[in-house]
Chain A
């Protein structure tokens, strides 16, 4: 079955600490994976996608096919990073038709 799992509902860290938001997926083919972010009172927006291998706002994510993971990392968290983060899988090549994880709320404390 195609599934995305984010095991942590809430991740709370202090400003300047490293952050790792976990994402594991279940998919038999070659996955296309994304991280979306939803800041308070703002719309859901794309943060990054694995195929572009870019760093956005200091965040990176590496696809590990052996561990079927796509964890989101940032070496030094900022207060403005506080948001809801969703990991998503595109199983069909149609990038709007996504399978989302349950979401992780990141809380960065001052």
Chain B
């Protein structure tokens, strides 16, 4: 089944711990993205990467970090510096160029206790 896979679906962590969310795609897309989804706020961009070994901050990058060592993988680390980490995280990918569709993963719900 081709597409974009996020794991795990649910994640629980204690306050103060870093946690890494996985995102893998087999669509051969160059670009990948991380969004955070909160009720009443829509989706907000955390980080994005348009090519391997390169990434840029989105609108709410503070307290997060990413890497893009392989084309198919774009893991997101939620660090202890993120003040309000409990949220639903969505990963997406797309081909380069204009008017191409973004494909989303199923999401990871992170709960920090």
The answer to whether A96 and B93 touch across the interface, beta carbons within 8 angstroms, is yes
CA distance in complex: A100, B92 (Å)? 14
The answer to whether A98 and B40 touch across the interface, beta carbons within 8 angstroms, is no
Residues in chain A near residue B94, CB distance under 8 A? 94-96
CA distance in complex: A99, B43 (Å)? 8
CA distance in complex: A51, B42 (Å)? 23
Residues of B within 8 A of A (CB): 31-33, 35, 40-45, 48, 50, 58, 90, 92-94, 96, 98-107
The answer to whether B41 and A43 touch across the interface, beta carbons within 8 angstroms, is no
CA distance in complex: A93, B40 (Å)? 26
B interface majority secondary structure: strand
Which of A32, A95, A96, A100 contacts B42, CB < 8 Å?
Answer: A100
- Answer whether residue A56 sits at the interface, using C-beta atoms and an 8 A cutoff: no
Do A101 and B106 form a contact, CB below 8 Å, given A51-B99, A95-B100? no
Do A102 and B98 form a contact, CB below 8 Å, given A43-B104, A43-B105? no
Residues in chain A near residue B43, CB distance under 8 A? 44, 86, 88, 98, 100
What 1/0 flags go to A26-53 for Cβ under 8 Å of B? Answer: 0000001000000000011110010100
Which of A32, A86, A88, A98 contacts B99, CB < 8 Å?
Answer: A32
CA distance in complex: A94, B90 (Å)? 17
Q: Which residue of A lies closest to B100 (CB)?
A: A95
Residues of A within 8 A of B (CB): 4, 6, 9, 32, 43-46, 49, 51, 86, 88, 93-103
CA distance in complex: A49, B94 (Å)? 15
Do A96 and B48 form a contact, CB below 8 Å, given A43-B105, A44-B90? yes
CA distance in complex: A46, B43 (Å)? 14
Nearest CB of chain B from residue A48's CB, rounded to whole Å? 11
| 24 cross-chain CB contacts under 8 A | A4-B42, A32-B98, A32-B99, A43-B107, A44-B43, A44-B104, A45-B103, A45-B104, A46-B101, A46-B102, A93-B98, A94-B94, A96-B31, A96-B32, A96-B33, A96-B93, A97-B31, A97-B45, A97-B58, A99-B45, A100-B35, A100-B42, A100-B44, A103-B40
